[in-house]
Structure formats: C-alpha cells, structure tokens
Structure 1
C-alpha cells in the first residue's frame, strides 16, 4: 500500500514540476479502498466492509466528526447496500479485501446527515517537514526518503485523499532552504523555494523529541502573497503528541480540516443559482472537458447550458453552497482565469417559486461570473 502511495505522489510531483500554472489535483478513486483481513470468513468480511465504509466516509468528507454522526454510524453497521463490488487479493502475503462503493449514495448520505462533501478537486500541498532521527540529528524530509516520517505522511495522505508533495531536496533546494529556515519559520525564504513546485499551498512543519514525548509545530501558507508583499499563514498550530506517528497524524488532520472548512459543502438543500460564462470554448473537446469538470464539483447540484455564441458558453448552475464557495473552488484550477463582466451586460433573472394565490414577486437577478477557459 505504501509503495502504491509513493508512486501516486511521484505522479503528482511530475505533473506539478512541468505545469505552467498550478492547479488543484483531481483526486481519483474516492470510491475505492482496501482493508487487510486474516481469513475469508463472513465475520472478517463484515468487519472489513464496515472499516472500508468508514474510510470512504472520511475520504469523501474529510471530517472525523462525520463518523460519529448517528445516521452514518448506523449505516456503518450495514454497509452492503452501498458496496458496488468487492474482491480478495493476496498482497505480499497479506490477504486484502478490495472494495468500491456507490459514490452517489455516499455523497447523498453525507448531505442527508448535514456533513461536508469534499469534491475530487483538492488543493495540492508542498510539505517541508523537519524530522529528527534517533541520534537527534535534524533534516528536511525529501521525496526520496523512506523514513518513518515520510511513510506516515504518505499513508495519511492516502487515507484522507489529501494530495501532497515532498521537496526533492536536490542542490537547488539544499542551497535555498536549511533546517534553520523551517525551525525558525522563515516563511518568505520557504515561499521562494516553493515556487518551482507549483502547488496551491505550502506547509512548514517540524517534530522534535523531549522527555515526555514529541513536540511539533505546523504553519500553512497559500501560494499568493498578501497585499503587503509578504506571505501570511492561514493555519498555525504548536502542540505535543505521544509519538511521531501521532504528531504527523494530527498535523495532517489539521490541514485536512482547514481545506474542508474552505472547500467542502455541507447540507443537501440548494443554495440558489448562478450563471457561469466561459470564453475560449470553441471546440467540442473543450466543452466536454469543461462540463466534466463542472459536474465533478461538490457544489454542483445541476448544470444546464444557457447559451453558446462566438466561443463563449454560459451555464446555469444549481448550487449546494454559496457563490462565494463556488468562486473559492474555481480559484483552485489553473485552467480558469476570472474576468470582468462586459460593460454592456443585460442582467438575467431568477423567478421565485410562487404558490397559487400569492402576490406576484419581482424576479431576482442572477449573479453572473465570467471566466476564460484554458483547458
């Protein structure tokens, strides 16, 4: 499993290094998971399906609290109706149950329980982790590392569906960044060194042992600089843990929780409609790619083409969340460039639902957002 995770991270790194513009990773296999078992007995299978269901809930919500929800916990005891298929595999001598779930039903269950739904489009995070070995020597964990810290990071990344990169720590990185930069939280220096990786966020983290356990600190930064010209953290924590495994798990959970609060959507009621116009969509292949992307967003409840003219296509989108949340989600994708509205714009209107006998109400104008598609 860890070798598989390492390979996936390597693919993310390869794409991140050549992409002209950073954009979030489209996380695959959010419906699939594997659980180790001791035998093919029914009891072992039932336990594996329950554990697999819980892993899928965590991967699609990003929330540990979702597992405690009464509706979801009750389904965990009888998940068979949500399982699309399962099968056994011998993986290096360990018997595994590979399973896939009905992702539509999983998302519907999360919405019904008022839990977050985290779409497949997720931020890519570069993690600069200052680790400490048994002799107390500190070093930055590289992409090629096989240390406990590296393996724990990749394992937690796979469990949460949280795409991460580790720095190459080649000559360029080694000249630009040292242990003291991470330890001292010199964000501007690390921000400059992070630019080559084209990620959405970067994190500086360190773990250090003491007599009672492990102390750790974490700071998360967006790729954008502030109006003052400096990078500003969006998340900072400094805590203690019983061991390194727990410390890394808590840091990864904190990063996931931040992204869920910003990019996931909770609830099943529609929050309204918005018009989205995209320029530079003149080919059928571009339109298909764009529609596939829009439909993959957790915020999208429904999608209807409104018009298409002179290479510009407009969709009416029914939302689970707010327009602001949609803009945050769209800002993750480097194929989209937001544009100003045309000066000669004629507003579109949304007619409110009316019951018989109610007084006629004026139609409310729909918010209209404009983007250029660079897919």
Structure 2
C-alpha cells in the first residue's frame, strides 16, 4: 500500500493525502492556481492571475458552469483583490506563475453566488483505462510514463479529483485483462479493485478513430448494492474528440460532475438544523479536534456544543443544505466512525427542539482521528 501512496503524487498545484487503511483522500492547496507563462511581464502576470482564479473556482466548486456565473465573472476582473501571494518557478524549461488566494473569501464568494462548495474530503477513484497506440492495446498503470498519464494528472489537478491507477502487477494481471475492461466485465474489475481501497472505480477506453479519438467510460461504486443482482454504473459517458487530451478532460469532467452532485453543498437558503452526537470523547484534545472538523465541513454553517454527558457530546448544527448532505460527507471521512447506522427517516430536517425517540433515531459517531 505504501508503494501506491508514494507514487500518487500530482505535479504542480495539486496534492492530496491518502489514509492507507480506508478509502478516502484529502485534497490540499485548493487556494492555489499554477499557470504556464512565457515571461514575467506585467500583462502576462495579470492574465495569469485571472486564469489561476478560474482554476481555483473550478477546484472549489467542482462544476464548469461556475465560471459562467455572473458574480464570478464580475470578480474575475478584480481577481487580484482576493490574491494573497504570487511567485514564479521553472520546471522542465517552462516558466510557471503560482498564485495563492484567500480561501475563506473564495468560499464566501461561491456561497454568495449560490454555487456549490466542495470540501477537502473527496472520493478516491481508481482508473482502469485501456489505451490504444499503433494498433496495440494495454492498460494504463501506476508506473506508466506515457503522455496520457500526465494528461490525467493535469486534469486531476485542475478538477480537484483524486485519481490512482492499478499497479498491473501479477495480482492485477491474473484478474483483469484488456478484454475485461473493453467488454465491461464489471465483476472481474470490481474484485481486483478492492485491494486499492478506492471509493469508486472507472472502466474506460480511448482509441484512435479517423483523425480523432473515440472514448467511453463508466463509473462504478466500490461495492454493489446489497439488493442488486449485479453492479450498475453511476455514470456512462462516451464521445469523440479531436485529441486524447480532450478525451481525458471529458471523462474526468464527467466524474467530477457526479461527485459535485453527491458531495458539494450549495446554500439552500433555508434554516435547516440538526443534532450530531459523538461518543467516546475521552479528553479535551478529542473534543477540540471534533469541533475543528465540524467547522471545516462544507455542509455546516455553524456548530456548537449543546450538551456533554460523560463521554458523549451533542452538537447543535446549522446546515447549508440538508441532513442527507451532511451524513454523506461524514461517511466519506476516514477520521469518522459510526456506532449505529442511520435510518431513512432520520434524513428529514430536524430542529433544536426535543424529538421523541420513536420519531427519529439518532446517528452516533465517534472520532478516530488521523
């Protein structure tokens, strides 16, 4: 597993931390944009700051449509007012401009614009891709150095979508072949994916067609629904593109859009509230850690301690969206454990007033930490 973690390093402005015992990734540097420039001239710097601003908006909202929002377009003209610092660096003889923005003000801007906000904790996606070059087909693997892998890295960075690739060692090779992916033999690929502890996996192909490329992809959850006879894809996307780069961008964009719908939270404009219960809080350090954790969740406006009884702490929580949004986010986080499963009825909005136990089952969490 350590070998996998060490290899999953995204170049330039995007990094994420994997939790090696669970399936999650924490995206960092969401306030940073990196843009290739030809010189350090004032004009190119101004243009680069605007591009970096758009990149940061895209990473924090997750949706391309955010760049068409009127409030975002207005702010673009004064993007430097949200900038905290900038600098230059060179890599492989190319000059880059790195720009950092005030993350809190970026999030406030998205909220004011009525756009979704995608937090740091994001799904980890394993990509099984059959690539075709010069009539030969192979599976893009973790050690691949071909340009296609670099394109995935760049799109992963631009979208803030953590991706990893199979090792294609003997274990993988015995379970998955090119025809399994091309033929959508989902069960074989799903079984091979379990060792990687990813939240989702993708089966995809890119192949030359005429003067362009044809691509197709399907996104699947880590495990099939207990009630289902077979795995069902969550997203299917296919099309033609002028280049392999455009094909990769289209696929990563489709993955990103699905995750935004599931995990990004916009302000509903309603005063939705709920209670959160954490058990096994044994000392002040754990309590502070839980408070900090809740404060940074994109689904929460405000959280405060409502009651402490022994090792159990109850929080009063104001929400941007609804309670289902909150529990989806918390289920994704490896630092959070669940003591009892949530029921369908408990996804309704709640208030700070007492609720009879027969009406609502309380979700109880505990803090596992890093």
Is TM-score (shorter-chain normalized) higher than 0.5?
yes
* 2:309 aligned with 1:304: no
* 2:81 aligned with 1:76: no
The residue aligned with 1:234 is 234
* 2:57 aligned with 1:52: no
Partner residue of 2:366 out of 346, 349, 372: 372
State the secondary structure of the residue aligned to 1:39: coil
The residue aligned with 1:5 is 10
The residue aligned with 1:356 is none
The residue aligned with 1:359 is none
Instruction: Judge which range, 289-298 or 115-124, deviates more.
Output: 289-298
Alignment check: 8 A CA contact 1:111 1:268 kept: no
366 and 299 in structure 1: CA distance in 2 versus 1, 3 angstrom threshold:
farther
Deviation at 1:327, TM superposition (A): 1.3
The residue aligned with 2:65 is 65
State the secondary structure of the residue aligned to 1:317: strand
State the secondary structure of the residue aligned to 2:28: coil
* 2:253 aligned with 1:253: yes
* 2:94 aligned with 1:94: yes
- The CA distance in 2 between the partners of 1:333 and 1:349, in whole Å, is 25
- The CA distance in 2 between the partners of 1:349 and 1:31, in whole Å, is 34
- The CA distance in 2 between the partners of 1:103 and 1:10, in whole Å, is 16
Instruction: Judge which range, 170-179 or 95-104, deviates more.
Output: 95-104
Deviation at 1:104, TM superposition (A): 1.1
Alignment check: 8 A CA contact 1:34 1:97 kept: yes
Unaligned 5+ segments in structure 2 are: 1-7, 343-349, 354-358
Deviation at 1:57, TM superposition (A): 0.4
- The CA distance in 1 between the partners of 2:28 and 2:14, in whole Å, is 12
The residue aligned with 1:357 is none
Deviation at 1:211, TM superposition (A): 1.6
Deviation at 1:105, TM superposition (A): 1.0
The residue aligned with 2:4 is none
State the secondary structure of the residue aligned to 1:214: strand
Q: How does 1:118-197 map to 2 (within 5 A)?
A: 118-133=118-133, 135-197=134-196
The residue aligned with 2:35 is 35
236 and 187 in structure 1: CA distance in 2 versus 1, 3 angstrom threshold:
same
The residue aligned with 2:202 is 203
State the secondary structure of the residue aligned to 1:220: strand
Deviation at 1:373, TM superposition (A): 2.8
Deviation at 1:334, TM superposition (A): 3.2
103 and 188 in structure 1: CA distance in 2 versus 1, 3 angstrom threshold:
same
- The CA distance in 2 between the partners of 1:8 and 1:57, in whole Å, is 14
State the secondary structure of the residue aligned to 1:27: strand
33 and 7 in structure 1: CA distance in 2 versus 1, 3 angstrom threshold:
closer
Alignment check: 8 A CA contact 1:306 1:316 kept: yes
The residue aligned with 2:347 is none
- The CA distance in 1 between the partners of 2:209 and 2:91, in whole Å, is 38
* 2:216 aligned with 1:217: yes
236 and 8 in structure 1: CA distance in 2 versus 1, 3 angstrom threshold:
same
The residue aligned with 2:111 is 111
Alignment check: 8 A CA contact 1:9 1:163 kept: no
Higher CA-based Rg: 1
Alignment check: 8 A CA contact 1:112 1:268 kept: no
Alignment check: 8 A CA contact 2:83 2:102 kept: yes
Give the paired residue count.
350
Deviation at 1:141, TM superposition (A): 0.4
Deviation at 1:285, TM superposition (A): 3.0
- The CA distance in 2 between the partners of 1:39 and 1:54, in whole Å, is 20
Root mean square deviation of aligned Cα: 2.5
- The CA distance in 1 between the partners of 2:26 and 2:16, in whole Å, is 12
10 and 36 in structure 1: CA distance in 2 versus 1, 3 angstrom threshold:
closer
Unaligned 5+ segments in structure 1 are: 343-347, 352-364
State the secondary structure of the residue aligned to 2:223: coil
TM-score of the pair, normalised by structure 2? 0.88
The residue aligned with 1:324 is 324
Deviation at 1:270, TM superposition (A): 4.8
Deviation at 1:233, TM superposition (A): 1.3
Alignment check: 8 A CA contact 2:143 2:167 kept: yes
240 and 193 in structure 1: CA distance in 2 versus 1, 3 angstrom threshold:
same
Instruction: Judge which range, 221-230 or 211-220, deviates more.
Output: 221-230
- The CA distance in 1 between the partners of 2:131 and 2:188, in whole Å, is 19
